[in-house]
Structure 1
C-alpha cells in the first residue's frame, strides 16, 4: 500500500495531468491512494476571490468566471469537449461557489474561505479521476470529508483522530482495493461543514491516510527532484539532500524551510513510514527520503532558510518589571488565539542607550560586545536597545 500525493504544479494543466496519469500507470501496483491538490495556482486564485467577495470589491464575479473557465479549458484539452460527465461534475462544484457569492457575505471569513477554497481540490480530483478512467485506469473517487474529521477551527482545522479512526473502519475497504483518488487539504466538522488543514495541507492529508492505512511509504510528487539545502530560487549554489531524518525534517520545517507541511512528519514517524520527495518530471530519479534512519552531521550540508517580510515586535512592561514566565505564557496565548506564528522569541534584560550629539566612535565604544536589537538615529540623537550587561 502506497500513497501518492500530487501537488498543484503536478496537475497545473492538461499536460501535467497527462503526466500524472502516466506516473500512476507506470507505477502499476495496487492498492494505491492518490491525494491531489488544487490545480496550479487555483488555491491562490480562490483565496483572492474570497477576499474580494468579503470586501465586496468590484469585479469579483469576473474572477470567479476566470477560475471556472480555466478548469473547463483543461477539460476540453483532455477530453476533446466539455459535454461529458466530468464537465457536469465540475460545473456543479462551481455552482456551489456561485450560490455563495450571489448573496452578501454574512458568515465568518474563515467559514467562507473554507467553503470556497475547498472547491479547488474537488475540481482537480474530479478531472484527474475522470481522465484516468478515459485512459482505462480504473479508480474510485472518494470524498475525503467522509473520512477526516476536524474541529471548527476554519483555515487551520485540527484533526480529531479518534473520530477519524472510527469512520476509517467503515471506509477502509475502499482504500484497500485498486486506485483511490481523493483530496488533500480538506476535512469536515461534526456539522458536515468543510474545513481546511492550513496552506500546503495536502502533505498532511497524505500522512493521515498513510498512518491510518499502515502504508509502506508516501511519495510527494513535486517540480523539484528532492529537498535542497536552500531555495534554488533565492540562492545560486544549492545541493540536493539524499536522505533526511524525521528529526531533521521537523527542525527544517520549524525554521521555515519549504520541505513539507509542518504537521506531516508526526503521523509518519509514529508508524515508521518513509516519505519520498520526487520529481514528477523525472520519476525514475531517487529524490530525497525522510525516514527514521539517522544521518551523519558530518556529511550534512548547511541548511539555509531565508524568510522575507518579517515583523519585529518589541514588547516591554510599563512598570519596568521583568517579563517572567506567566507574562510569556499570556503572550503566547494571545498569538495562538489570533493564529499568528512566532518565528523567534528572545527574552532578555535590555538596556536602552541614548547619546545626544553622538559620533560613530562613541556609539561603537558604548555598544562594543553588546547585542543590539533596535537602533534609531537622527541628526543629533541615537538610541540603541541592547542586551543587558551581565553582572
Structure 2
C-alpha cells in the first residue's frame, strides 16, 4: 500500500490531469490511495465566493461560481475526448448546483463552518474529474468522500483529527477495496454529525500523511512542481540545491520555520510509523526526488534558507515598567490564541515581549484587548529570515544592506527580523 498526493499545481489544467493518469498507470499499481487538492487556484477563488456570500451579495457569489465552473469545464474538455466529456461535465455540474444552492441561503452564525462548507467544493470537484479520468483510462478507480473518512472535531478551518475513528474507517475501506485506486480529497474532513471540516490551509499533504499512517503504508509520495525538497524557494533564489535525503527531525524543523514544500503537520504521523516521505517532480516522475526518513546523516550538509516577507513586528511592554514574567506571558499567549494569530518568532527582554506575525492578519482586535494592560507598538513591512546550518558567509549574503531588528541564534539555526 502506498499513498500519492497531488497538489493543485499538478492538476491545474488538462495536461496535469493527463500527467497524473500517466504517473498512476506507470508507477502506482492498484493498491493505492490518491489524494488530490483543488485544481490550480480554485481554493482562492472559492474564498472569494465565501466572502461575497457573507457580504450578502448572492449575485457576485453566483458570478464567481460560474467562472470556476467554466474553468473546470475547460479542463474536462482538454483531458477527455469527444462525447466522453459530457457525462463528466454533468457530474461536476451537480456539485456546482449544490454550491449555488448553498450561497442562496442565509449563512449560519458559524462563519468558520460556512467557510469549510464552501471551500471544500474545490477538492470534491477535482477528485470527481480525476476519478472519471482514471476510469476513462481503464484504471480501477474508486471515488471516496474524505468528509466521511477523516473524522475530526468541530474546530472548523483547522479541524483536529480523531485518529482512532479515522483509522477504523480507513482500515474498513482498505479491506473493501483492496485492488482499487482509492481517490479522495485532501484538506477535507468531517465531524461525527456530518458537517464538512477542513484541516487548515495547504492541508492536503497532511491528508496524505493521515491515510499513510492509518493504512500502515510503505511510503507517502507528494508530487510537486519542484525537483524535490530544495534548500530555498526557487522563486526567491536563483541558485537552489536539492536535499537528496534528510531526517524526519530536520523536515520538522524546516516545516516549523515555514518551508513551503512540507505542511507542518505532515511529518510527525509518518515518523511515528517510520513511513518514508518522497517529494518528487510530477513533470519528471522518473527522477529520484527527495527522501525524508530516519537517517540524520545528511542533515547538516547544505544550508537551508526560509524567507517570510510581509511581517509585522509587535513590541509589547508593561505600562508600569515591571518585568515581563510568567504571569504576563501566560496572559499574552492566551490573547494571541483567542484571536487566532500565529507567532512566527518571539523574544522577551526584561520589560518587553516581541513577536513577529504575518502581515495579512488582523491585529486590531488583539491590540484593542491588550492596550489597557500593555503598551503596544508595531513595525510593518519586516522580513523574517531563517537559516538552518548557517555559516558567516550566508549570513552576510542574506542580511547585507538590511537593518536587523531582532536576531536569534542557536547551534544550528539563526533567525533575523530585518527591514
TM-score after normalising by structure 2: 0.81
Deviations 1:195-232 (A, max 9, x none): 00011111000000000111000110011110111111
Q: For residues 12 and 131 of structure 1, what CA distance do their matches in structure 2 show?
A: 14
Q: Give the aligned partner of residue 235 of structure 1.
A: 237
What does 1:58-69 correspond to in 2, within 5 Å? 59-69=60-70
Question: Kindly tell me: are residues 225 and 374 of structure 1, through their superposed partners in 2, closer, same or farther at Cα, counting changes over 3 Å?
Answer: same
Runs of 5+ consecutive residues of structure 2 not aligned to the other structure: 353-376, 380-404, 408-419
For the pair 1:311 / 2:312, whether they are aligned, the reply is: yes
Report how many aligned residue pairs link the two structures. Answer: 356
Q: Give the aligned partner of residue 338 of structure 1.
A: 339
Q: 2:182 aligns with which of 180, 183, 191?
A: 180
User: Displacement of 1:104 after TM fit?
Assistant: 3.4
Question: Kindly tell me: are residues 124 and 350 of structure 1, through their superposed partners in 2, closer, same or farther at Cα, counting changes over 3 Å?
Answer: same
Q: 2:168 aligns with which of 158, 166, 169?
A: 166
User: Displacement of 1:255 after TM fit?
Assistant: 0.8
For the pair 1:245 / 2:241, whether they are aligned, the reply is: no
What does 1:21-40 correspond to in 2, within 5 Å? 21-40=21-40
User: Displacement of 1:374 after TM fit?
Assistant: 8.3
TM-score after normalising by structure 1: 0.86
Secondary structure in 2 matching 1:170: helix
Runs of 5+ consecutive residues of structure 1 not aligned to the other structure: 352-372, 376-384
User: Displacement of 1:168 after TM fit?
Assistant: 3.2
What does 1:71-110 correspond to in 2, within 5 Å? 71-79=72-80, 80-81=82-83, 84-110=86-112
Structure (1 or 2) with the larger CA radius of gyration:
1
Q: Give the aligned partner of residue 44 of structure 1.
A: 44
Secondary structure in 2 matching 1:314: strand
What does 1:113-262 correspond to in 2, within 5 Å? 113-262=115-264
For the pair 1:9 / 2:9, whether they are aligned, the reply is: yes
Secondary structure in 2 matching 1:9: helix
Question: Kindly tell me: are residues 186 and 233 of structure 1, through their superposed partners in 2, closer, same or farther at Cα, counting changes over 3 Å?
Answer: same
Deviations 1:325-347 (A, max 9, x none): 23212222222232221001101
Secondary structure in 2 matching 1:253: helix
User: Displacement of 1:106 after TM fit?
Assistant: 3.5
Question: Kindly tell me: are residues 124 and 317 of structure 1, through their superposed partners in 2, closer, same or farther at Cα, counting changes over 3 Å?
Answer: same
Q: For residues 175 and 343 of structure 1, what CA distance do their matches in structure 2 show?
A: 43
Secondary structure in 1 matching 2:158: coil
